[in-house]
Amino acid sequence: QVQLVESGGGLVQPGGSLRLSCAASGTRLDYHAIGWFRQAPGKEREGVACISKSNTSTDYAESVRGRFTISRDNAKNSVYLQMNSLRPEDTAIYYCAATKIISQGQPVWQYWGQGIQVTVSS
């Protein structure tokens, strides 16, 4: 059974940094595309960042480009989201997702973590 577990969330002041981790069990993440998503109260879930299974490409939401970085450590079977220059509007529950399935050039997310809270506030 595949499980994804996020960690590293919490409360941070505006302008601060956090690094989220997504650790997997039951599968090797290096065979998967990985995505980070977030959902703020009263808003729809949105994609934040993704990385291809070959590590050849990454993509970011316009709202986080230049501030967030997605990366993976295959030896630790983990994926990370480094978040810098955090803003109050980054407050949300953050989820990681993984998939081997690409349909019409887009990932079809197979596995999801339980989510972790990130709060940016002074």
Nearest-angstrom CA–CA distance, 92 and 74:
27
Token digits for 23? 């650790």
Burial class from Cβ neighbours inside 10 Å (0-12, 13-18, 19+) for residue 122 reads exposed
pLDDT along the chain (122 residues), means of 10: 95 98 92 96 96 88 97 92 98 97 91 97 96
The pLDDT of residue 74 is 87
Q: What residues does 96 pair with on adjacent strands?
A: 36
The pLDDT of residue 17 is 98
Nearest-angstrom CA–CA distance, 21 and 6:
5
